[in-house]
Amino acid sequence: MSKTAFKELTDIINVIFETDKNKVEFFKQFFKIGEYYFEKQNYPGALRIFDGILAFCPEEEVERNLFFIFISTAYIGQLDKSKEAAKELLYLRYKMKYLERGLELIDQIAGFNLSAQLVQEYTIKFALLKKDIKTFNKTFTKLGLDSDDEKFWDYCLEVERITRSESNDWMASNNYLKLAIVYKISKLVKENLSDPRKRKEVINLIYQYKIRYPGDLFIYPILLEYAIFYKRKKLEQAISSYFARNPKKFKKNNAIREKVLNLLNGPRIDLKKEEDPRKSPRDEETVTELNWPKMGEDKEQEEFVALSERAMIKAVDLLDRHKFINYYTDLVACFATMGFYQAALFILEKIENLKGPDLEVKESLNIDYLRIDFFIKLGRFHEAQTMADDVAFYRPLFLKEKLGFLYLKAEALMGLGKKDQALELYKLIAEKFPKFRLSKRRLKEIENLK
């Protein structure tokens, strides 16, 4: 820095701190000097100025300040720092929807050879800003990504994310959205789905697919595969029966499914429709036969998780009244089997609200029993105990019904650590019905704890 420039900076600092000038004036004065250095191609000097004033930069000037840092660091060979500044600047221009300036910046980043990933990522993002599928496809093609390139699918996912709330025309203009979701599911299920976060990610994607493509049944075979693999009979029967009752949809869906899975080169299960389409979901035999492909040692078996509790609740809310009332018991059974107790509770509450006074006594008792059972499984022991007490002592019940609610109360007491009180109830139940649920086992467990 020259003596003149240094004196100018010192004078400005003295004025600012002696008169307590605001940050805007502080920024403006320094910015002028930074620009002067930049124009003279004194990039180290310009960088010192722009780096120093970034913290004082007014919001409307941050973009310009970052641009000078990006260019200055690139010219003096500080490529990592230049890349970081470019990343921030790209994000800012994208957020502000500066399309032309964004594309110019991408060209500059490519010219400095800073990051192919940034160039690809933001080429897609800025191309999407136009909401024009032709422009997007043209830009997308320029990247030279093959469909078997993982990045191709990652950018499909980006399209899916950005266009999530866009019009049907935009969404229907290409298969990026559908392929993105299916690919993401395909990719995730090859990972360890014992991780709850991975489960939720898969589940949410399944839900998004179902909501966005309500007429496309592709997702049902995926759920059916999951049901078969995990021996979820209720879910398997319900979906199998649906396909049997709708053979045309089944045929169309299977054709779509084959095309997509072939495109993804993913493992698949061949579905064969049974001849009799009239079987009930409650029949012991399923109406769809599944043949698992032989899996080599180098392949991982696909595992599919049905729906998350949040997704299930939203999906249930979309059902019409008649369909919900007809199928709510199967839904509760499915969700409970898969461990989605919160969703099951939501269904119980909804059916009570829908039926109101039309709810029969036996049905009402079944709902209460299930609700208490789900409370226990969710660790909501106080609620379970209170409700079990209310039902057992204030509603007219047959002996076995009453013992059933007392058993649930005992389970809740165990959860609360009140083993002595639970012991008395288990003894009472075992005296009347020795084989009632786990009464005998509970008695032994409590005795062993003493």
pLDDT tens by residue, 123-169? 777 777 766 666 666 666 666 665 555 666 666 666 656 655 554 44
- Residue spans of the domains in the chain: they are 145-304, 307-359, 360-450
pLDDT computed for residue 27 by the predictor: 64
- pLDDT per position as a tens digit, 292-333: 223 333 333 333 333 345 555 666 676 778 878 887 887 787
pLDDT band at 271 (very low <50, low <70, confident <90, very high): very low
CB 268 within 8 A of CB 254: no
Q: Give the residues across from 273 on adjacent strands.
A: 288
Residue 341's contacts (CB-CB under 8 Å, 6 or more residues apart) are: 309, 335, 374, 377, 378
- pLDDT per position as a tens digit, 205-264: 666 666 666 555 555 555 555 555 545 565 556 555 655 666 565 555 555 444 433 433
CA distance 374 to 380: 8
Buried b (16+ CB within 10 A) or exposed e, 153-187: bbbbbbbbeebeeeeeebbebbebbbbbbbbbbbb
- pLDDT per position as a tens digit, 354-404: 888 888 888 889 899 999 999 998 899 999 999 998 988 888 888 878 888
pLDDT computed for residue 259 by the predictor: 42
- Angle at which helix 99-111 crosses helix 79-95, to 10 degrees, equals 160
Backbone angles phi, psi at 272, to 5 degrees: -120, 125
pLDDT computed for residue 68 by the predictor: 93
Kindly report each contact of residues 50-54 with a partner whose C-beta sits within 8 Å and lies 24 or more positions away, as own/partner: 53/26, 53/27
Q: What is the Cα Rg of the chain in Å? A: 32
SS3 label, residue 271: strand
pLDDT computed for residue 434 by the predictor: 67
CATH topology of domain 360-450: 1.25.40
Residue 103's contacts (CB-CB under 8 Å, 6 or more residues apart) are: 123, 126
CB-CB neighbours of 297 under 10 Å: 4
* Largest Cα–Cα separation, the chain: 101
Backbone angles phi, psi at 288, to 5 degrees: -130, 130
CA distance 205 to 211: 10
pTM equals 0.36
Kindly state the helix (H) or strand (E) to which residue 291 belongs, with its residue range: strand 288-291
pLDDT band at 425 (very low <50, low <70, confident <90, very high): confident
Tokens of 70: 């990006």
Closest C-alpha to 253, from 245, 243, 262: 243
